[in-house]
């Protein structure tokens, strides 16, 4: 009887040990994930936003990168309804329906300029592709989500805004401690004004008052700006390279990305995408060649409305850190590496 009891208990013991091991492994993985930096991408879902989101998800998956914990939407490249739908499509293509979408500003704080159709009417090249069972947006607003996530991940959450700054500006006004709780805020917007860039930059111009609010509350240890003017200098590649080298990578993501940029690529023989460059400088700050510190602002009145002002100063007198130059060739190689088809092929071997 004792022998029967002893052997009959053996499967139970084995199962218990396996369950314990599984629990410990899951707990370890969750602990590791919890310790990782977190970030949110606040976007207006044009073709360049799509590339930035795809890039961040691939970097997370294949390079153990920071965790994307949310997408927040805002009017910009297209209306906010399209922006939300585009975010849903992007996540479906990436196979990441687990990432929450929080809907945000449908207009600018004071006046809303015409968005135009640089990336097509729908923002994603008017490609017309639709998918079943798209993940629904959460009921929380973008502003509320930004504030609550900054509390949940205090000191570990980075916000990257690659569209209008409306959501971030409202979060700052609603909760004055919002910026202080962030690990960092990256802003892809604005120009360093010059003869080559005499006009306002699109993201900054789409909500001038929002940009002003962010600038007035910024500190260089919390806010980094990557002006489009610097992307034009240091992240400027030929259309031929974009279409026939990067665009020739044989993956579903790149095939969709090519469609998303099919309208914008025809507009120039150069490819200068601010949004993926901004996200990259967060993921790989070693690719930044030079930072400068600036008293950064934006003109809100008169015929120069939307034009940025920068006075380069010591850090102690600055309100922002500017990404002034980047390592061009290394950035180009980074894009090829992250989007490489070897990752997708590895999943099928």
Whether pTM exceeds 0.85: yes
Span of 259-263, 301-305, 307-311, 339-343 with lowest mean pLDDT: 339-343
Q: What is the mean pLDDT of the chain?
A: 93
By three-state DSSP, how is residue 15 classified?
A: helix
- What DSSP string runs through 228-264? HHHHHHHS-EEHHHHHHTGGG--SHHHHHHHHHTTTG
Tens digit of pLDDT for each residue in 79-110?
A: 999 999 999 999 999 999 999 999 999 999 99
The values of phi and psi at residue 297, to 5°, are -155, -175
Burial of 204 (0-12, 13-18, 19+ CB in 10 A): buried
Structure tokens at 89: 């499509």
Q: Check: CB of residue 323 under 8 Å from CB of residue 281.
A: yes
Give the list of residues 6+ apart from residue 171 with CB closer than 8 angstroms, or none: 143, 146, 147, 150, 178
The token pair that represents 313 in the structure block: 């100063």
User: What is the CB neighbour count within 10 angstroms for residue 81?
Assistant: 13
| Region 64-81 average pLDDT | 98
Please give the CATH architecture assigned to the domain spanning 38-346: Alpha-Beta Complex (3.90)
For range 221-237, the mean pLDDT: 98
Segment 150-177 shows an average pLDDT of: 99
Mean pLDDT to the nearest integer, 36-65:
98
Does pLDDT of 215 surpass 60? yes
Residue 348's pLDDT band, with cuts at 50, 70 and 90, is very low
Rounded to whole angstroms, the Cα distance separating 298 from 209 reads 9
Indicate the Cα dihedral angle 158, 138, 81, 231, nearest 10°.
10
Structure tokens at 6: 């002893």
Q: What is the mean pLDDT of residues 315-337?
A: 99
Tell me the mean pLDDT in the region 43-66: 98
């Amino acid at each position: 009887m004792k022998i029967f009891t002893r052997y009959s208990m053996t499967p139970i013991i084995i199962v218990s040990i396996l369950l314990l091991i599984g629990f410990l492994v899951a707990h370890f993985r969750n602990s590791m994930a919890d310790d990782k930096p977190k970030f949110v991408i606040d976007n207006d879902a044009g073709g360049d936003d799509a590339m930035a989101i795809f890039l961040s998800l691939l970097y997370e998956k294949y390079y153990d990168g920071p965790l994307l914990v949310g997408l927040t939407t805002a009017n910009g490249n297209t209306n906010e309804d399209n922006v939300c739908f585009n975010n849903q499509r992007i996540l479906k293509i990436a196979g990441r329906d687990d990432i929450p979408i929080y809907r945000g500003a449908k207009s600018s704080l004071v006046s809303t300029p015409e968005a135009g159709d640089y990336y097509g009417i729908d923002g994603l090249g008017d490609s017309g592709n639709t998918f079943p069972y798209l993940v629904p947006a959460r009921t929380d607003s973008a502003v509320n989500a930004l504030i609550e996530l900054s509390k949940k991940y205090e000191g570990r959450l980075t916000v990257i805004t690659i569209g209008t700054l409306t959501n971030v500006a409202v979060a700052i006004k609603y909760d004055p401690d919002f910026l202080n709780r962030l690990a960092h805020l990256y802003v892809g917007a604005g120009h360093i004004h010059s003869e080559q860039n005499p006009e306002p930059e699109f993201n900054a111009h789409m909500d001038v008052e929002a940009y002003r609010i962010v600038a007035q509350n910024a500190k260089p240890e919390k806010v980094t700006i990557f002006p489009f003017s610097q992307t034009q200098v240091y992240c400027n590649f030929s259309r031929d390279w974009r279409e026939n080298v990067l665009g020739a990578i044989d993956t579903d993501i790149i095939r969709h990305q090519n469609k998303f940029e099919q309208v914008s690529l025809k507009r120039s023989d150069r490819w200068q995408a601010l949004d993926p460059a901004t996200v990259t400088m967060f993921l790989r700050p070693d690719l930044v060649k030079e930072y400068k510190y600036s008293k950064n602002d934006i003109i809100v009145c008169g015929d120069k409305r939307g034009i940025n002002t920068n006075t380069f100063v010591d850090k102690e007198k600055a309100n922002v850190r500017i990404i002034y130059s980047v390592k061009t060739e290394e950035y180009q190689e980074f894009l090829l590496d992250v989007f490489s088809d070897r990752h997708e092929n590895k999943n099928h071997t």
